[in-house]
Amino acid sequence: MYFNTDSITNLKEKILFCAINEFAEYGYDGARIDNIVHAADCSKQTLYHHYGNKEKLFISVIEYSWNDIRTKEMAVTLTAGDPEGNLSKLIDFTWDYYIHNMWFLKIVNTENQNKGEHLKKSLKIKEINKNHLSIMDQIILEGKKMNIFREDIIPVHVNISIAALGFYYLINQHTLGFIYNMEMASKENLDCRHIIIKDTIIRWVSV
């Protein structure tokens, strides 16, 4: 269980967080409405009243998931005139968020397995991610103007690389840990991965 829902008094909100727990643990196909209503202590009729059906509930879960990371990302304090420092802060934020919110990685992973078919039906997801894209645009542009970032760097690829270098390591930690005979989630290895991600990105974008 990723969220403790015992203290949530708003029933619609409680259903949503119970759904996050269920979808993150079992994926879209494996998740069961029966399990969600049991955890939320409500009827199926109540769930359907608030969310319509399983697919619409999952779309709400996806929207909550992306909104959560983007809202917290917007709270990162950036400093004008320090593009390298700002890029470093976003790398730190993303890595820390991933480590402390494995449910997010699992929700994203299960939607990738479904080829993004539910994500595409969301009316909110592009708006949720708009500021995320503009932040990196501004950081990279400022770095180019100061002649510390390469002119050929495309901001969206920086976003993707930061996400990929952390996501792949964490979502595959059990299989990779067995193959390479290492404790992927140990503090030592997590700290090492964090350094590698930051060093890789900063060296890549720098002149």
DSSP H/E element including 152: none
Q: Which domain holds residue 10?
A: 1-52
Q: How would residue 96 be classed by pLDDT, with cut points 50, 70 and 90?
A: very high
pLDDT averaged over every residue in the chain = 97
Q: What is the spatial distance between Cα 149 and Cα 166, in angstroms, rounded to a whole number?
A: 22
pLDDT band at residue 72 using 50, 70 and 90 as cut-offs: very high
Q: Are residues 76 and 136 in the same domain?
A: yes
Q: How many structural domains is the chain composed of?
A: 2
- Which residues have CB under 8 Å from 108's CB, separation 6+? 65, 167
Residues 1, 95, single domain; the answer is no
Same domain, 77 and 175: yes
Phi and psi at 206, nearest 5°, equal: -80, 150
Of 140, 164, 142, the C-alpha closest to 152 is 140
Q: Are residues 173 and 96 in the same domain?
A: yes
Residue 29, phi then psi, degrees to nearest 5: -70, -35
Q: What is the mean pLDDT of residues 97-113?
A: 97
